[in-house]
Amino acid sequence: MVKLLLAGTGLIGHRHMQHILEHPDLELVGVIDPLITEEKIEGVKTYHSLNEVNKVAEGIILATPTDTHADLTIQSLEMGMHVLVEKPVAATLLEADKMINASEKTGLSILVGHHRRHHPLVNETINILKSGKIGRPVAASLMWLMRKQDEYFDVEWRKGIDGGPIKQNLIHDVDTLRAFFGEIISVVGSGTNIVRNAKRHENGGVVLGFNTGMVATVAFSDATPTPWGFEAGTGESPYIPKTNQSSMFIACTNGGLEFPTLKLWSGASNWNEKPIMEHQNISEAAPLIRQLEHFSDVIRGKAAPIVDAKSARETLAVILQIEQATMPVAKFE
Ligand SMILES: NC(=O)c1ccc[n+]([C@@H]2O[C@H](COP(=O)([O-])OP(=O)(O)OC[C@H]3O[C@@H](n4cnc5c(N)ncnc54)[C@H](O)[C@@H]3O)[C@@H](O)[C@H]2O)c1
């Protein structure tokens, strides 16, 4: 059994907790949250702060607000634990650099919670693109268009920029876009906050240029209840009903691929010919559970982190550029 601690029992921490408790190879040895009132949760000892913990585990999962990630990660590494920290890796690039240094100094790993990398549909998309079956990617169009319930923003840290759809949601898309297409070298965009008028991003569009010459457009909003977005399309989250709709269209030199429905279009050499569509059938799996299993392999020295702090820092750098490019200037003072 791999012994784990969990810090943060909010929206995502609660999901980690249930998955650890149900997993035959993982043991939850403690839960940390300043808001905990019970002495034990499901038989597990509770703490109000990492400073109170005397029984060090092999690994710790940090599902705490983004501005706590750097300090808690460095403290955990120095206590001798490997770390699975939620995304974004940190609030700033400087904080991410300090985390990378601490990992190198202690020789312990940081895995960052870009859990979509563990989704079978993401893995299959990477396989199809790598196979060259439909040629080389030239352009793609992605949508993340969901409406979050208003109460989501009642939590203090979500009221400002950290609670907006770029750091919360698009960050996952940027990580998968990097896995599909390579490094992002240019960002232009435009944004507004016309529905809730809050001091954070809400609606926007960006054009991302990749080092391969490929270009992707992204439309995002957390104020519109459409069926188009990763979680809705895949049914990945227990809280978001599955719509089975594509939310990304990938255009390659010999055809196209819809994601996450994996409709593969090929067979036409130009616009006078009709492409044919094949459906790829992929078995389902819960990426958060797979990510915990990967973390267990990292702890046991069987694998290197699929998304380490250096890779997550690259994604954060792009996210910060998108925040700048789509800043709704008029309403943000
Ligand atoms: N991977 C994903 O899909 C996903 C989804 C949601 C959130 N997140 C990320 O996870 C993090 C948490 O988000 P959330 O929506 O669950 O937040 P949340 O506000 O629902 O929960 C955060 C919890 O952390 C606790 N906490 C605060 N400071 C702490 C500390 N020093 N030690 C221990 N616990 C502490 C809070 O009391 C709260 O219970 C954020 O960085 C967010 O970006 C990731």
Pair of tokens at residue 112: 């960052």
All domains in the chain, ordered by first residue:
2-108 (3.40.50.720), 116-284+317-331 (3.30.360.10)
pLDDT in tens, 205-240: 999 999 999 999 999 999 999 999 999 999 999 899
- % of the chain at pLDDT higher than 70: 98
Position with higher pLDDT, 56 vs 262: 262
Q: How far is the CA of 268 from the centre of ligand 1 (A)?
A: 48
Please state the rounded mean pLDDT for residues 15-39.
95
Pair of tokens at residue 253: 């030199």
Q: How far is the CA of 33 from the centre of ligand 1 (A)?
A: 10
Q: How many C-beta atoms surround the C-beta of residue 293 within 10 A?
A: 16
What sign has the CA pseudo-torsion 199, 200, 203, 204?
Answer: positive
Residues with CB under 6 A from ligand 1: 7-13, 32-35, 63-66, 68, 72, 86-87, 113, 115, 155, 168
pLDDT in tens, 257-272: 999 999 999 999 999 9
Residue minimizing CA distance to atom 21 of ligand 1? 10
Largest CA distance in the chain: 70
Residue minimizing CA distance to atom 5 of ligand 1? 12
What sign has the CA pseudo-torsion 118, 165, 157, 333?
Answer: positive
147 residue type, one letter? R
User: Which atom of ligand 1 lies at the shortest distance from residue 69's CA?
Assistant: 41
pLDDT bracket for residue 179 (50, 70, 90): very high
What sign has the CA pseudo-torsion 4, 9, 14, 16?
Answer: negative
Residue minimizing CA distance to atom 33 of ligand 1? 33
